[in-house]
């Protein structure tokens, strides 16, 4: 039916909206997310003022001019209110789908059409979004805008499933062209940045050059105390580029553009090779701070959740499960070799490793403090992976079961810039409501 919607899932969601689980806070276990109540609240916020957070474009960012090619921003913070606005729009669209609410659907559709036609978000304008220059995905304002756009892409998908007449044929085509304009621009910019590290990345020669073999001052403290020190070949495969390339992959699936899908798959294969260390952590673990040992864990989870949603969308649309099944011992500058628990590195292993910091199975420290999830809830964003893996290990940990010594759900999760209970950098309405304890429904083709 859609990017992550099947008939059976929709039936389940309609039941959950009335009866749970994940309807109200604590209805599964102590402090378990009340996703549906949150969805309803955000829907009401959106409907009360639909254009309040309409994104005016790149010119809102400090350092980005109002004309000419978009350049790197001095700060990404200006996108924050628009991320929250897209979350509300996304929740309203999902609500309309689940509750079959035509009036809410009409309001959301009208706002999406207005956003597509807004002057400084015309992503296909190559005099503004120049392929030959501009920031890459790991530079502001791109990664925040990628999250924002992904929320809108999902919202449009929910509405089209509910009633495809909400958009005319011309409007649907215009939306796809608009989204694809962003994806092709970001993909080109990311390729240019990643190609800099290798002898011939387009040709498959991953021999690192002096750029790839470099180590930034930011990375010298390592992933944790006395841990691996990530070279540039690892550090550039970070959560920011991951969020951008998730958007490229999702839009590739939406528009049927196999070249975008292939680019996203290539990036994710490189993540497992070059950013995933056999010791049990990804490159962004380097972002720990002396007073916040778990901050790197949080950012590392934001590498994996975009990969999970990309793998999910590709598998649903075509039956291609290569990203879910990928297994390799390849790597560079310390990321090569077998996993510390034996066997190759895989996406499933990386998801399991994320949960080992929820249960305390790893005893790594950062700044002398043991790395734990604490009041963060970013691991629930990985629950959709278990639709494929069907793993009791993963299920028990995203459910935070005491039997596996998982930390309980926090009373007030640390969020930051997005709704963490929404999953994948806030781009979903409610990740556990949608995908938690849904292993009994197989959503993949083939």
Residue-level pLDDT at 446: 61
Would you say 280 and 340 are in contact if contact means Cβ atoms under 8 Å apart?
Answer: yes
Closest of 237, 183, 246, 263 to residue 384, by C-alpha: 246
SS3 200: strand
* Residue ranges in the chain whose pLDDT is less than 70: 446
Determine the distance from the C-alpha atom of residue 12 to the mean position of all C-alpha atoms in its chain, rounded to a whole number: 24
Number of neighbouring beta carbons within 10 Å of residue 66 = 10
Residue-level pLDDT at 148: 94
Cα(304)–Cα(388) distance, integer angstroms: 15
Residue-level pLDDT at 119: 78
Would you say 154 and 422 are in contact if contact means Cβ atoms under 8 Å apart?
Answer: no
Residue-level pLDDT at 417: 74
Architecture of domain 7-435 in this structure: Alpha/alpha barrel (1.50)
Residue-level pLDDT at 72: 86
Taking the domains of the chain in order of start, what are their residue ranges? 7-435
Cα(186)–Cα(240) distance, integer angstroms: 12
Residue-level pLDDT at 117: 86
Residue-level pLDDT at 445: 80
Look up tokens 């009208």; give the residue.
110
Residue-level pLDDT at 1: 84
Would you say 185 and 177 are in contact if contact means Cβ atoms under 8 Å apart?
Answer: no
Cα(235)–Cα(213) distance, integer angstroms: 11
| pTM confidence score | 0.96
Give buried/exposed letters for 331-367 (b at 16+ CB in 10 A, else e): bbbbbeeebeeeeebbbbbbbbbbbbbbbeebebebe
Residue-level pLDDT at 218: 84
């Amino acid at each position: 039916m859609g990017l992550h919607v099947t008939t059976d899932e929709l039936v389940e969601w309609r039941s959950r909206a009335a009866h749970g689980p994940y309807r109200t806070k604590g209805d599964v276990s102590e402090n378990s997310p009340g996703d549906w109540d949150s969805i309803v609240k955000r829907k009401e916020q959106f409907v009360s003022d639909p254009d309040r957070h309409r994104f005016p474009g790149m010119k809102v960012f400090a350092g980005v001019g109002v004309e000419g090619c978009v350049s790197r921003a001095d700060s990404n913070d200006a996108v924050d209110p628009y991320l929250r606005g897209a979350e509300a729009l996304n929740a309203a669209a999902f609500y309309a789908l689940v509750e079959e609410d035509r009036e809410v659907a009409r309001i959301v559709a009208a706002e999406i059409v207005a956003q597509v036609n807004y002057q400084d978000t015309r992503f296909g304008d190559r005099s503004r979004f120049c392929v030959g220059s501009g920031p890459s995905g790991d530079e502001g304002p791109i990664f925040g805008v990628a999250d924002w756009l992904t929320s809108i892409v999902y919202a449009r998908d929910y509405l089209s499933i509910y009633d495809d007449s909400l958009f005319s044929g011309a409007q649907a085509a215009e939306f796809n062209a608009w989204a694809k304009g962003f994806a092709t621009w970001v993909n080109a910019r990311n390729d240019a940045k990643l190609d800099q590290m290798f002898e011939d990345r387009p040709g498959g020669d991953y021999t690192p050059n002096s750029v790839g073999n470099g180590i930034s001052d930011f990375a010298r403290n390592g992933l944790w105390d006395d841990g691996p020190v990530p070279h540039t070949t690892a550090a550039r495969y970070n959560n920011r580029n991951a969020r951008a390339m998730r958007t490229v992959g999702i839009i590739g699936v939406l528009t049927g553009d196999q070249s975008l899908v292939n680019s996203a798959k290539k990036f994710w294969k490189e993540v497992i090779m070059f950013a995933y260390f056999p010791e049990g952590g990804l490159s962004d673990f380097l972002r720990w701070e002396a007073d916040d040992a778990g901050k790197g864990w949080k950012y590392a989870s934001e590498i994996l959740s975009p990969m999970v949603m990309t793998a999910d969308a590709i598998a649903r649309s075509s039956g291609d499960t290569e990203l879910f099944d990928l297994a390799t011992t390849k790597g560079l500058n310390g990321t090569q070799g077998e996993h510390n628990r034996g066997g190759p590195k895989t996406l499933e292993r990386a998801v399991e490793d994320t949960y080992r910091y929820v249960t305390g199975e790893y005893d790594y420290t950062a700044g002398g403090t043991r790395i734990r999830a604490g009041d963060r809830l970013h691991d629930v964003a990985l629950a959709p992976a278990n639709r494929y893996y069907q793993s009791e290990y993963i299920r028990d940990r995203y459910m935070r079961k005491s039997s596996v010594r998982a930390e309980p759900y926090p009373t007030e999760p640390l969020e930051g810039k997005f709704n963490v209970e929404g999953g994948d950098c806030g781009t979903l309405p409610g990740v556990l409501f949608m995908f938690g304890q849904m292993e009994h429904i197989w959503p993949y083709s083939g």
